[in-house]
Amino acid sequence: MKVVSVNPKGKKAEERKIALLEVIEEMREQIESGRIQEFVACSIDTDSVCQIHASALDLPGAVGLYEIGKHMMIETMSSEDE
């Protein structure tokens, strides 16, 4: 799976947009094929509003994926401070 950095250096805005859409398209293909059953994704918009997107099969899975999403956000914010 392709990973896109939250804080790219030297990439133009259009290249960044294409890279983000490639990740989404790859996830879509894996969902359609049945490989992905549940997922969590984190996003930060241009106003620095953070969101955790999760799709789970049950409550325990939802809580676990949400916690993973929180960890992803904390790690991202921590690495930006360094």
Q: What's phi and psi for 41, nearest 5 deg?
A: -140, 150
Q: Quick one: which of 45, 39, 9 has its CA closest to 24?
A: 39
Q: Domain for residue 6, yes or no? A: no
The larger pLDDT score, comparing residue 2 to residue 72, is at 72
Residues 72, 4: contact at Cβ < 8 Å?
no
- Which residues, 6 or more positions from 71, have their beta carbon under 8 angstroms from its beta carbon? none
Report, as an integer, the average pLDDT of 53-72: 91
pLDDT tens profile 29-56: 999 999 999 998 888 888 988 888 889 9
Rounded mean pLDDT of the chain?
84
Residue 28: pLDDT above 90? Answer: yes
pLDDT at position 8: 55
Give the domain range for residue 25.
13-81
Residue 53 in any domain: the answer is yes
Closest alpha carbon to 36 in 17, 23, 21: 23
In a domain, 45, yes or no: yes
Is 2 domain-assigned? no
- In the chain, how many domains are there? 1
43 in any annotated domain: yes
